[in-house]
Amino acid sequence: MRRFFLERNRIGKGKAILNGGEARHIGKVLRLGIGDTLYFLDESGWEYQAVITSKSSKIVEVEIVKKSPPQKDSSITITLGQSLPKAQKMDYIVQKATELGVSTIIPFLSTRSVLSLDEERSKRKRIRWQKIALEATKQCGRVVVPQIEAIVPFKEILEKCDDNSLKIMLWEDEKSNKLKDVLKNTQPLPKVIFLVGPEGGFTPEEVDMAIHADFQTVSLGRYILRTETAGICLLGILQYEWGDLG
């Protein structure tokens, strides 16, 4: 079943409009015509069953025949705080994190971040990452698109979580506190936020700041993973232990 995502401003009383790439995909790839059924979701996860009433190469109009409330996307809400990596690594991180059920991704700039963006480039990057998350959501069958937040300084991300969250910082110099022990000794919580550092790792000052903000520094074991691998690995573990994987 091919699903589409529509902004609410394109959904009216009993009708909706699909345009641009979605309209072209319906006509040229799926070859759907007037009277055919399709399904789409809005930003909140409401699902709609609709019938095509008119179509052109640029616009497809549909009549909504059924509206279903949002299904629960995941049993655990996971926020990934990702230090901004170089090149196109963030594209990969966003795509794979979406597939593994992340709820929010917050890119941040740390002391050793290689990439530095001005305000305009930051906005363009965020739009690109949100589109990648949307496409990955369609591909993997999720009902809610993860939110990609604006790039923030490291200090600011420490303030973006509440007391009902498990707060984790992946730190390669942590020797005693392993992730498996933390999860084993912690009652499953509804929310998790974890921080992944840049290619050069977190500075001692950043580690101290995170600890003072009630983050636990944890190790994944004797392997040192790349920044684009570490977060994906931890997401898989969290979804297996506390979430929906397996």
Express each pLDDT in 139-164 by its tens digit: 887 888 899 999 999 999 998 777 78
Is the pTM for the entire model greater than 0.85?
Answer: no
Same-domain status, 169 and 205:
yes
25 and 142 in a single domain? The answer is: no
Total number of domains constituting the chain = 2
Whether 81 and 45 map to the same domain: the answer is no
Per-residue tokens: 235:
């997401």
- 57 lies in the same domain as 87: no
pLDDT of residue 3: 76
Residue 156: what pLDDT?
Answer: 92
Judge whether 246 lies within some domain: no
Q: How far apart are CA 28 and CA 79, in angstroms?
A: 37
* 96 and 138 assigned to the same domain: yes
Q: Are residues 106 and 206 located together in one domain of the fold? A: yes
pLDDT, residue 140, reads: 84
Q: 139 and 43, same structural domain?
A: no
Domain that holds residue 21: 3-68
Higher per-residue confidence, 8 vs 216: 216
CA separation for the pair 212, 210 (Å, rounded): 5
Residue where a domain stops, chosen among 45, 68, 91: 68
Quick one: average pLDDT of 25-46? 86
Cα–Cα distance for residue pair 175/172, rounded to 1 Å: 8
> Which helix or strand (DSSP H or E) is residue 20 part of?
helix 20-24
Tens-digit pLDDT profile for residues 126-140? 999 999 998 898 888
pLDDT in tens, 57-102: 789 999 999 998 877 777 899 999 999 998 789 999 999 999 999 9
Q: Among 16, 33, 68, which residue terminates a domain?
A: 68
